Amino acid sequence: MFSKDFIWGAATSAAQIEGAEYEDGKTSSIWDIASRMNDGRFSRFQKTPLSSCDHYHRFIEDVAIMKKIGLKAYRFSISWTRLMKENMNTINPKGLLFYNRLIDALLDAGIEPFITIFHWDYPQSLLDQGGWQNDKSVTWFAEYAKTVVELFSDRVKKFITINEPECFVNLGYLDKRHAPYYQLPEDAVFKIAHNVLKANGLATILMRQVAKQKIEIGQAFALTGAIPFSENDKDINAAKHCFFNHPDSSFWGTWFLDTIMNGEYDKKRLAKISISPDVLDKDMRIIHQTPDFIGFNMYSGTLTKHLGENDYQRMPDPIDSDYTMMDIPIAPSCLYWAARFLYEKYHLPIYIMENGVAITDSPDENGDIDDPARINFIREHLIHLSRALKEKIDVRGYFYWSLLDNYEWAHGYSRRFGLVRVNFENYKRTLKKSAYWYASLIKSNGEILEKERVDKNYGNL
Ligand code: NOJ
């Protein structure tokens, strides 16, 4: 069912695991600054990414753990403020050395690196100049992305330009829930979203020009599944319509993805903004860069029922839904439906760039960590994903979020997503049962899924 080259992976991001926040020339990202704001805007836990998992000093050990699990690929991000000096024009040699050593260690271990170029840790020095609100942000980002490809594409073939634009734009600039904790009017946020799209487009153009070998470029969009209430055509179409429908006062759903793919804004959004048709036309040509694959992060989904022509109802979560520590319901078929809807619409290879669960796991008296709920979560999601493969939907890989327990942004260190436990006092790593289970799953290339199927018993959530 899973092809022999199916990519079994795990993902992390720089700010969430590296630590060494101000070492070897790294300067501040907006998260370094925001996590120190002492006015109640940030984290109930007042934690900073100061040392995170200390991966910066322990990456050799972490790569050995990945090898032990048998990962085929590892998705990590580059810290913009570590790779570049504060002026963002010159390379920081020590930052470069770190990423070169990490990439070489991965390749030596037979693990394919997937590089995320930007995973939320925007340079504070650029925010001070207006950040995404400044039109120069387009070239700032594109030049940085080009540098990443110039430096690493001799050894790395897969690049993700931006992680979850939906989240950092909506939560960071509209809803005041993530760094930089802004609450701007909708038209200002539209400009930010427009610049992000343009930056992604220009980056894609430049990256393709300078790549040292054939590379594949995509994004990791934050999508929520729409699951048909029943499998009759009406409900399936209603779910599909809901999945691709955009709310008109925010930037959630497939809005970023569809704009890139279609090279135009949806009409109802366009009606609300003032942008001259000439500029729009020119910008759209930059924005409209078809990626080589569609990457998305997905953690949940909502049941959707047909109501009438192009009309649907999002149903309340079923009474027996299990909720993760992030307060979202577990809905494993979301992966199948999203892969199917996206493939039917765009016919591009698909990667699940993130899927995972935070639960209350803790070591027993022997130090072992039994996390059946996580095993169950992964198993159920993959069983549904395997249906997509059986139906010849071109899903190329699955990345569990996350390899390590880590810094969960505004939640500090209170949400543990890892296959591997990190003790944040002494940074000791312990493989959880789920890591051993994932290892056997990878070893069997997914074969053990069906044999082990258990219906819904999420245990210690
Ligand atoms: C999405 C983000 O990309 C990642 O940084 C975050 O930790 C996970 N989801 C879990 O919330």
Active site (annotated) includes residue 23 = no
- Per-residue model confidence as pLDDT tens digits over 81-95: 999 999 999 999 999
Give the Å distance between the CA of 417 and the centre of ligand 1. Answer: 9
Angle formed at CA 74 by CA 69 and CA 79, multiple of 5 degrees: 135
Q: 338 CA to middle of ligand 1, Å? A: 18
Residue 198 Cα to ligand 1 middle (Å): 23
Report the residue among 31, 328, 408 best suited for mutation to probe ligand 1: largest number of ligand atoms under 8 A from its CB: 408
| Rounded-to-integer distance, Cα 383 and Cα 160, Å | 26
* C-alpha distances out from residue 332 to 305, 401, 455, Å: 18, 15, 11
Task: Give the integer Cα–Cα distance in Å for 421 and 446.
Answer: 24
- Quick one: pLDDT at residue 266? 87
CA-to-CA distance for 116 and 393, rounded, in angstroms?
24
* pLDDT at position 34: 87
- Pocket lined around ligand 1, Cβ cut-off 6 Å: 13, 16, 163-164, 297, 354, 401, 408
Place of tokens 């993902």: 11
Domain ranges (residues) in the chain: 7-451
Give, for ligand 1, the residue of 76, 299, 300, 401 to mutate: max count of ligand atoms closer than 8 Å to Cβ. Answer: 401
Ranges of beta strands (E only) in 156-215 are 158-163
Enumerate residue ranges in the chain where pLDDT < 50: 44-45
Q: Which two tokens stand for residue 250?
A: 């925010």
Domain 7-451 part of CATH 3.20.20.80:
yes
User: What is the reported pLDDT for 45?
Assistant: 45
Residue pLDDT, tens place only, 112-136: 999 999 999 999 999 999 999 999 9
pTM, full prediction: 0.96
164 is a catalytic site residue: yes
The Cα 298–Cα 174 span in angstroms is 22
Cα 164 to ligand 1 centroid, rounded to whole Å = 8
Nearest residue to 161 (alpha-carbon basis) of 299, 9, 287, 301: 287
**Residue 431 token pair:** 């493989």
Look up residue 28 and give its two tokens.
Answer: 């501040």
